[in-house]
């Protein structure tokens, strides 16, 4: 299993993100809205139902709510509990869009997590964690990869690539179907300034909201995928992003974001890895 983390400042509450995962092209990347892009190259089964058709609120004792017949989903946090939801389907690969609005105002101590995860003791996981902050201060976006991904973007701007480095022995998350999860919870022992700033419960309840879920994805069920590798749809306009790569402009934007907003990169943390940096760090841009 491998695990890595990077931290980046983010100012917007209305956020558009991207995960991109591909086992074929080591330099593939793409961005649009809040996307989890799991790319392999098969028929994509399109769906764009209401949130209550695609997700279940799994914990929070009523703090998670479906509004307007599933057009909007909200999670809330108070001193007693947070809340969370998960997708009904598991996805092996595909393109998934969803918009997220973070906790407004003083969000110090709170964490809004949005991630993909498989099951089992050797699970794969790719996630965004938004670490709350005092009013007027930017969020810190914490990205993680656990594996036995390709890229990430915010508001259409690439912020990170995690390249497929299986050729040098680095595990890559590509074989285990994963569900979509999100949760809003209290982590004031570490989330804001290392735990120095605590959650102000007089501001509760804290609320994050979600809408506009769309999926062009292969659903995994009973050990089989809903997609076929020989389908002509894999080369259709719906799958055009399968072969789209970061162009020169996007590569430059990626470098600019990392130079100006990245505050932690495990690939430069020699104190954490005194015996030498992980193998994939030699391939990062």
The helix, strand and coil proportions of the chain, stated in percent and rounded to the nearest 5, come to: 15, 45, 40
Peptide bond into 27 cis (omega under 30): no
The yes-or-no answer on residue 71 being catalytic is: no
Q: Could you tell me how many residues make up the chain?
A: 285
Which position has the token pair 């809040």? 34
Tokens of 144: 């993680």
How far, in Å, CA of 132 to CA of 109, rounded? Answer: 6
Helix (H) or strand (E) holding 95: strand 90-101
N-to-C CA span, the chain: 22
Q: Specify whether 252 is catalytic.
A: no
> Phi first, then psi: what are they for 260, rounded to 5°?
-95, -20
Residues 6+ apart with CB under 8 A from 89: 54, 179, 217, 219, 220, 221
DSSP 27: T
From 53, 71, 129, 161, active-site residue: 129
90, 125, 161, 280: which one is catalytic? Answer: 125
179 within 8 A of 89, measured Cβ to Cβ: yes
> Catalytic residue positions?
125, 129
């Amino acid at each position: 299993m491998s695990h890595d983390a990077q931290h980046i400042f983010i100012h917007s509450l209305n956020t558009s993100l991207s995960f991109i995962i591909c086992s074929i092209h080591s330099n593939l990347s793409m961005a649009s809205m809040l996307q989890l892009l799991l790319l392999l190259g098969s028929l994509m089964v399109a769906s764009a139902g209401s949130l209550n058709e695609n997700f279940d609120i799994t914990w929070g004792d009523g703090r998670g709510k479906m509004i307007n017949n599933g057009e909007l989903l909200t999670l809330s946090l108070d001193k007693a509990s947070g809340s969370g939801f998960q997708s009904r389907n598991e996805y092996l690969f595909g393109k998934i869009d969803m918009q997220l609005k973070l906790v407004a105002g003083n969000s110090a101590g709170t964490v809004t997590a949005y991630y993909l995860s498989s099951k089992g003791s050797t699970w794969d996981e790719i996630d965004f964690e938004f670490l709350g902050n005092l009013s007027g201060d930017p969020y810190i976006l914490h990205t993680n990869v656990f594996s036995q991904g390709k890229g990430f973007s915010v508001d259409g701007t690439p912020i990170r690539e995690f390249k497929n480095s299986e050729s040098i022995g680095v595990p890559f998350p590509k074989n285990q179907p994963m569900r979509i999860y999100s949760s809003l919870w209290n982590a004031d022992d570490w989330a804001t300034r290392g735990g120095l700033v605590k959650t102000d419960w007089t501001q509760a309840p804290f609320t994050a909201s979600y809408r506009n879920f769309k999926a062009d994805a292969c659903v995994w069920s009973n050990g089989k995928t809903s997609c076929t590798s020989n389908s002509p749809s894999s080369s259709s306009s719906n799958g055009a992003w399968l072969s789209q790569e970061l162009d020169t402009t996007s590569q430059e934007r990626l470098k600019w974001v990392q130079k100006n907003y990245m505050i932690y990169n495990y690939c430069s943390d020699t104190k954490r890895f005194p015996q030498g940096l992980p193998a994939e760090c030699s391939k990062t841009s």
